[in-house]
Structure 1
Amino acid sequence: MIVALWKALRGFAAHRGLFMAAGLSFYLLICLIPMLFLVVSALGFVLTNEAATQAVLSQLSQIMPVYRKELSDALARIIATRNLSGLLGTAILLLFSTQLFGSLRLVMNEIFGVKRGRGFLRGMLSDVLMLFVMGALFLASIGIMDLFFWLRTFVLAPALMPRQWIRSMAVALSLGLNAGLFFVAYRYFPARQVLAGAALAGALLAAALWEIAKQLFRWYILAVGVYDQIYGPLGALVALAMFAYYTGIVLLLGAEYAAALEAWRRSRRS
């Protein structure tokens, strides 16, 4: 494991991981509004507009609690845009959202040593498919976390369960859900299927690092809150950009670890 971690760090440096993470964060910011549009629209089929907004807002505010009002205003504008958009507008937003998944596919191919990709048309179809898969998993994670919050409020807290136990359960559940998303990204984004064990190990590492980064970033915003002081009304956007960059670094480190483990296991078999 230690050797694989060292190789992962070397691979991260060799692939210029910081620059890759910056590129991914750029695409994430470009595609964020279209993806939120699609998520809110999907939730709107089973929930009211207000309930869909609150479900998404509760997930975002866990990372950036200071900017809850700004996030709420942005989601309200997305709701208003959804009411004016037709099928053509939704299709255009769908195509914009696939840019992030296309860049993820290329990055995963680079890290896992895929020499030949799927081609332009197959790659685009794969990006659209992964958009729906990851979107469905994200919606499922929102539903599971909301169910846990309901249990915490109406079952666990009245049963006088210690708060630390409840918090530990929430963190463990969040780790498991995030690991599932990372696992799908590592195993199915590359043009070849990655070994399941290696993808799972990388996903667990990435989920742990992402949870640590999320808690540290949350503490930093609450304790320092420098973004709104320096950037004023743009503070929420700058904070989101920085966290997107941290997320890109974590995603790439987990992928490098999975690639190192896979290379080691394949060498043992041969």
Structure 2
Amino acid sequence: MFSRIELPHSVRKALSDLWATAKYYSYGLYLELMDKNVFLWAQAIAFKVLVTIVPIVILATGIMGRALQGNDAFAAVTRFIRELLPGTHSQQLIDFLMQLQDASATIVSIGGVGLFLSAMSLFITLRIAVSNAFEQTWHEQRSLWWGYLFDIRMVIQVGILFLLTVGLSMFVPPFVNDVIIAQAIGPERLIQWLWKSAVWITGLLLPLLLTTAMFFQLYYFVPKLHPRMRSALVGALLAAVLWEAAKQAFTFYATYVGYGTGTEALGSTFGLIVAFVFWVYYSGIVLMIGAVVASLREHRHITAGGLPGTELPTQLNSLAPNNDAGEEADVDAEDGSDEHAPPARRV
């Protein structure tokens, strides 16, 4: 007969706490997903993101027209077009580019205004969606105009981080491979391997940190009252890991498809469009799941471990999320009488 192995008390307690935490978040996430229309909000976010692409294309077209205003740039493009297309078709395209040059300032203005308005509309949807994920009794709504001012602020804060994390993932690896490794380092294999490894690790960690900061701002600043920083950070880190994994997969797919001619290239392009739309929808789901997890952690702190929908203990009834990071909310236990305590509320 084998003797039963007794684990140390500290190990058994750690495993018990880990199991209780896993049960709380798995069941709590299931309840919240069923109750808060997470997938519907993810669809709304994806739709707003796709709408935002239109002014981005307009703005990029205007910027291209501004870039062609230089004589050298326009001459180089003209020469390339004449070599690529027959005379009649090439002249039509050159005439179009000349008109684009003249109207580039107007196109840039229209694209810039459209991008700002569409980004505002996107962040209104994000604010409402994240607020819905934090829909507990301690959560308060912003007024209409304060909400709009808050959206302008978040467009700037989150937008900068979004551009940085996407730019690092999409443009840094090709630059490193084609410019630094090919020209500066040379053919030495060991140095190339060390450099590629360092760039690969940095290219994963730095965008992950920026993405975590991006989600943290949404999960911390959008709810009112603010949750604890620790709760917002847990949800942001989970969302960042899931989103970065999908972003790296999409970047890899976008980098290595589209080769070929004729129907093969057309099929690859169509597949890329489908993959992009799916990635946008997946991003909306990840954002909502991270917000729900942050809400669950704050809910667990306030209710001393209760699941959503459970009664809040009377002695914790006046408890609200503390705006100061790392401080545990104090429970008023000095007055032993519950005579003036309000009835228990649902959270």
Distance 1:137 1:166, change over 3 A: closer
Larger helix proportion, structure 1 or 2? Answer: 1
Structure 1 residues 95 and 263: CA distance shift in structure 2, 3 A? same
Partner SS state of residue 303, structure 2: helix
1:256 corresponds in structure 2 to: 292
Asked if 1:198 corresponds to 2:231, the answer is yes
Deviation at 1:100, TM superposition (A): 0.7
Q: How far 1:137 moved relative to its partner?
A: 2.5
Higher relative contact order (CA 8 A, sep 6+): 1
Q: Distance in 1 between matches of 2:24 and 2:257?
A: 36
* The structure with more radius of gyration: 2
Cα 1:26–1:266 shift into 2, 3 Å: same
The corresponding residue for 1:101 is: 123
Residue 257 of structure 1 and its aligned partner are, at CA, apart by 0.8
Instruction: Kindly state the Cα deviation for residue 266 of structure 1 after the two structures are TM-superposed.
Output: 2.3
Q: Is the 8 A contact 1:187 1:199 kept in 2?
A: yes
**What displacement does 1:188 show?**
1.3
Pick one of 25, 31, 38 that aligns with 1:10: 31
Whichever residue aligns with residue 136 of structure 1, its letter is I
Q: Is the 8 A contact 2:58 2:108 kept in 1?
A: no
Structure 1's unaligned 5+ residue stretches are: 51-75
How far apart, in 2, do the equivalents of 1:37 and 1:190 lie? 34
How far does the alpha carbon of each residue in 1:243-269 deviate from its partner, in whole angstroms, 9 at most, with x for none?
110101111111111111111122344
| Mapped partners of 1:249, 1:223: distance in 2 | 26
Contact 1:106 1:190 in 2 (8 A): no
1:21 correspondence with 2:42: yes
- Is 2:132 the counterpart of 1:110? yes
Which is further off, 230-239 or 186-195?
230-239
Indicate whether 1:83 and 2:116 are aligned. Answer: no
Tell me which moved more, 204-213 or 129-138.
129-138
Contact 2:55–2:111, Cα closer than 8 Å, also in 1: no
Deviation track 1:78-118 (CA, whole Å, cap 9, x = no partner) reads: x9886323657633442222111001111111111265421
Partner of 1:241: 277
Q: 1:110 to 1:128 in 2, by over 3 A?
A: same
Q: Relative to structure 1, is the Cα distance of residues 130 and 30 closer, same or farther in structure 2, using a 3 angstrom cutoff?
A: same
**Bigger shift: residues 13-22 or 209-218:** 209-218
Aligned residue identity for 2:220: R
Q: 1:230 and 1:117, CA in 2 relative to 1: closer, same or farther beyond 3 A?
A: farther
Maintained 8 Å contact 1:17/1:249: yes
Alpha-carbon distance in structure 2 between the residues aligned to 1:37 and 1:89 = 5
Q: Against the structure 1 CA distance between its residues 34 and 129, is the aligned structure 2 distance closer, same or farther, given a 3 Å change threshold?
A: farther
Q: What is the TM-score when the length of structure 2 is the normalising length?
A: 0.55
2:286 pairs with 1:266: no
CA change 1:88–1:151 in 2 (3 A) is closer
* 1:186, distance to aligned residue in structure 2 (A): 0.9
- In structure 2, give the amino acid aligned to 1:5: Y
TM-score (norm 1): 0.69
The yes-or-no answer on 1:137 pairing with 2:161 is yes
Q: Verify the 8 A CA contact 2:123 2:155 in the aligned structure 1.
A: yes
Q: Is the 8 A contact 1:35 1:97 kept in 2?
A: no
In structure 2, the CA distance between the partners of 1:150 and 1:224, relative to structure 1 (3 Å rule), is: closer
Q: Which of the residues 199, 211, 214 maps onto 1:178?
A: 211
Identity of aligned residues (%): 26
Cα distance per residue 1:21-54 (max 9 Å; x no partner):
111101111123335767x69xx8xxx959xxxx
| Partner amino acid, structure 1, of 2:215 | F
User: In 2 relative to 1, CA 242–142 (structure 1 residues): closer, same or farther, beyond 3 Å?
Assistant: closer
State the shift of 1:14 in Å. Answer: 2.0
1:29-40 mapped onto 2 (5 Å cutoff): 29-34=50-55
Give the alignment of 1:50-89 within 5 angstroms: 83-85=105-107
Shift of residue 241, structure 1, vs aligned partner: 1.6
Q: Check the 8 A contact 2:168/2:203 in 1, yes or no.
A: no
Give the whole-Å Cα distance in 2 for the aligned partners of 1:218 and 1:151: 15
